[in-house]
Amino acid sequence: MHILLVDDEVELTEPLSRILQRQGYTVAVATDGQTGYDLAVSGNFDLLILDWMLPGKSGLEICREVRSQAQTTPVLFLTAKDMLDDRVDGLDAGADDYLVKPFELRELLARVRALLRRPPASERSDLDNSPTAGAVLQFADLTLDIENQFASRGSVTIELSEKEVQLLAYLMRSPHQLLTHTQIYDAVWGSAIPSSNALAAQMRLLRKKIEQPGQPVLIHTVYGRGYRFGTTA
């Protein structure tokens, strides 16, 4: 497995690359954003580990531009940013997971293993093998086109990421039911369980897209338990 590590902290990249190599991975290192970007878009890596703040081009910019080229290589952010808005920005850019610095080495290695266990995007989505793959789901004035990866509400078309499609489809198939955090993790992330608050950040991002001011709320938080989808809480 080939990993690209992009971080300008040499005191981190040198020991971390050695540790990853001892785990059996081939590791390339870049210490500035432009070099990291040039390597990332080559498509020769199974995982990208990106620092958020980099000279030249940020990790966020690298992630966005890689995703704009339809690359599905998993992206793990290493960042000192720990606010929910920052997590939302990372997920919106196309990141799969993130760790907040400083982090435990064993947690990083566990997340690397989890992301590398994921099959390619063409095989990964549970929706691809479901009886309703390619279906159009409808609830109230919200429509989800799974195959073409967009939703519409009223006359507004909403572009969605692959993860957002999976999450919204799972919610729409179980209207008015309490879906626990564990159920959602199992259905949408499978074995690659994300870091804490990733679900809240992803749900917040989805809400911003499908719930505009003046429209009925569709995604309701059941505090401490999970979420319920529907026109009433």
CATH of the domain at 84: 3.40.50.2300
> Could you report the per-residue pLDDT of 93-146, keeping only the tens digit for each?
788 888 888 888 888 888 888 888 765 544 444 444 443 445 788 888 899 888
Domain boundary among 118, 142, 166: 118
CA–CA separation, 233 and 220 (whole Å): 6
pLDDT: is 52 or 127 the higher one? 52
Report the CATH number that the domain containing residue 202 is assigned in CATH. Answer: 1.10.10.10
3-class SS of residue 205: helix
Contacts of 193 (CB under 8 A, 6+ apart): 114, 185
Q: How far apart are CA 98 and CA 100, in angstroms?
A: 7
If asked whether residues 108 and 208 sit together in one domain, one would say no
- The number of residues in the chain equals 233
Taking alpha carbons only, the member of 161, 160, 174, 191 closest to residue 227 is: 174
Give the model's pLDDT for residue 39. 93
Better-predicted residue by pLDDT, 63 or 70: 63
User: In this predicted structure, what is the pLDDT of residue 35?
Assistant: 94
Q: What percent of the chain has pLDDT over 90?
A: 29
Nearest to 171, CA basis, from 144, 133, 192: 144
- Same domain flag for 87 and 173: no
Q: Check whether residue 96 and residue 74 sit in a common domain.
A: yes
- The string of pLDDT tens digits covering residues 133-144 is 457 888 888 998
| Contact call for residues 154 and 142 (beta carbons, < 8 A) | no
- Where in the sequence is the domain holding 201, given as residue range(s)? 126-229
Evaluate if residue 20 carries a pLDDT over 80: yes
Please give the pLDDT value at position 220.
93
